[in-house]
Structure 1
Amino acid sequence: MKIWYQSYVDYDNGKSYWDVLGRHLDEIVAPGTTVDINGITPFDSYAHPLVEFRCAREMICNAVQAEREGYDAFVVGHFQDAGLYEVRAAVDIPVIALGEASMLYCCQLGQRIGIVTINPRFIPWFHHQIGKYGLKERISGVHAMTFEPGQILEAYSSNERADQVKALFEEQARPLVAQGTDVLIPGGGIPMLLFAKYHNHLVDEAPVINGIPIAVKMAEMAVTLKRLTGQSVSRVSDYAKAPPEVIEEFLAHPKGL
């Protein structure tokens, strides 16, 4: 099984993150599964919907490329899941997204789920995601630290900085737990991976979830189930497949011209 892992960070700007991510993925995949990390340039360095939109377009093009190169599944390794519905309407291989997979899995771990993102500008985007996934009654709140995506990468080269980020996360998480939150999700692949080294990470007894292995394992499961049943996403409404000529037109105009 071969999986394309789409990071929204490129190697040149996130080498320390990529190196840790590569080792982490090697540790969690099943025997026989390989995961190739691919980035986006320029990387997602600023928390803003316009950046999400730009990255989403490149991600969709990359998913089409992954399918044509024989990959069995595509993982959107970015919690905002920008372009998720559109990419599922463009390819036939399973597409698993970090944000959606994390939220859905956490519904099995507790009734009330809290999210702590890295920047307040992501909060409205997260609420749009929560509504789209039908989880308004399960997500108890979204709090935020105050980092740009590029800034938090600095914690990968400093244990002291990583501990500071962990402390800031827990500062935002504790009020959620006090209000009845059962499970906590760091709102981003960068903080998720950063906290992975804190085994059984808890905040006032509420587990802090690393969604990266969840998304990768869901991708492995999706490939296996597709092989067993032949079934994939519904083509009735949201994921109606775009005609080949529309996909080719999309790929031919990378800047939307």
Structure 2
Amino acid sequence: MKIWFQLMASETRSPGFIAAVQEQLKACVSPSTTVVVRGTTHGAYADQYRLLFHYDEREIIANGLRAQQDGFDVFALGNSLDPGVVALREVLDIPVVVQMEVSCAVACMTGEKFGVVATNAKAEPRYREIVHGYGLADRLAGVDSVRFDYLPRIHEAFTDPEVAAAVVEAYRESARRLAVRGADVVIGGGVHTTLAAHAGLREVDSVIIQDTYVLLARFAETAGAIHQQTGHWTSRRGLYASPPAEVLARAAEMYDIPFLVTDTAHEPASGR
């Protein structure tokens, strides 16, 4: 099985982060599974602002289209802000699985209330919005952050041990604040989740600290196996209904979108 694991981080500015996630996931998936961790051109510069997030989101959608064309079995979105998930599920036949959605579902199995640790305060409202969209507002104890406003600084943790230690300590303190608010499980949304896993931070004051990327990679394997076995994954009714083939063909021409049109024609409101 081949999994395309998509991060938002820039492949040129944040090679340490991408390499660390690649190593982390290689150690957790089945021997027969190949995980390819990819970043973006400019991402993780200031993605807490919707303007910059929008342009990185477009590249992630293009990468999802490419992943299917290149024969990957699953497209795993290792970004907790849900970039392009609905658009990708509308057009991809392979499963599209998302970090935040998987983490929230697992948190509901492992605790009564969960908290989310963002990278900075500006991103906190977006996480509340996402969790509300999942219909899990009653399970959310709160959202906090490790308070790194300048994202390139947190990525220095992969080359500077002092920064790494500061990030892990900030994560620990954020988890404690969320524990006071009633969280039993904490979900990390960003670079700090890999740094915490590397440092062995698994629990704070009896609160479970999720290893979110490992969870996503293992769930991606499950999704791929189910799709291979049954031929089904994404419903083609309602939210994820596919555009008709003629609309896709016209859109590919209008917007110059590589890989939008494949040999498999999508029919509106059909099942898989």
Q: Fold match, TM over 0.5?
A: yes
* d(CA) in 2 for partners of 1:191, 1:183: 16
TM-score, normalization: structure 1? 0.93
Match of 2:7 in 1: 7
Contact 1:5 1:74 in 2 (8 A): yes
Match of 2:152 in 1: 150
Aligned residues: 254
Question: CA offset at residue 219 of structure 1?
Answer: 0.8
Match of 2:36 in 1: 36
Question: CA offset at residue 200 of structure 1?
Answer: 5.2
Q: Secondary structure at the match of 1:197?
A: helix
Match of 2:110 in 1: 109
Question: CA offset at residue 112 of structure 1?
Answer: 0.3
Contact 2:171 2:192 in 1 (8 A): no
Match of 1:27 in 2: 27
* d(CA) in 2 for partners of 1:167, 1:11: 26
* d(CA) in 1 for partners of 2:172, 2:138: 23
* d(CA) in 1 for partners of 2:188, 2:163: 17
* d(CA) in 2 for partners of 1:78, 1:183: 19
Question: In the superposition, relative to structure 1, how do residues 250 and 106 fare at CA in structure 2: closer, same or farther (>3 Å)?
Answer: farther
Q: Secondary structure at the match of 1:89?
A: helix
Alignment of 1:39-78 (within 5 A): 39-46=39-46, 47-78=48-79
Match of 1:222 in 2: 223
Question: In the superposition, relative to structure 1, how do residues 211 and 121 fare at CA in structure 2: closer, same or farther (>3 Å)?
Answer: same
Question: CA offset at residue 88 of structure 1?
Answer: 0.6
Structure 1, unaligned runs of 5 or more: none
Contact 2:86 2:240 in 1 (8 A): yes
Identity percentage of aligned residues = 30
Q: Secondary structure at the match of 2:216?
A: helix
Alpha-carbon RMSD across the aligned residues, in angstroms, is 1.7
* Cα deviation 1:215-238 (Å, max 9, x = unaligned): 111111011111222211111111
Match of 1:203 in 2: 204
* d(CA) in 2 for partners of 1:123, 1:137: 17
Question: In the superposition, relative to structure 1, how do residues 170 and 250 fare at CA in structure 2: closer, same or farther (>3 Å)?
Answer: farther
Structure 2, unaligned runs of 5 or more: 258-272
Q: Secondary structure at the match of 1:134?
A: coil
Instruction: Select between 163-172 and 121-130 the one with higher mean Cα deviation.
Output: 163-172
TM-score, normalization: structure 2? 0.88
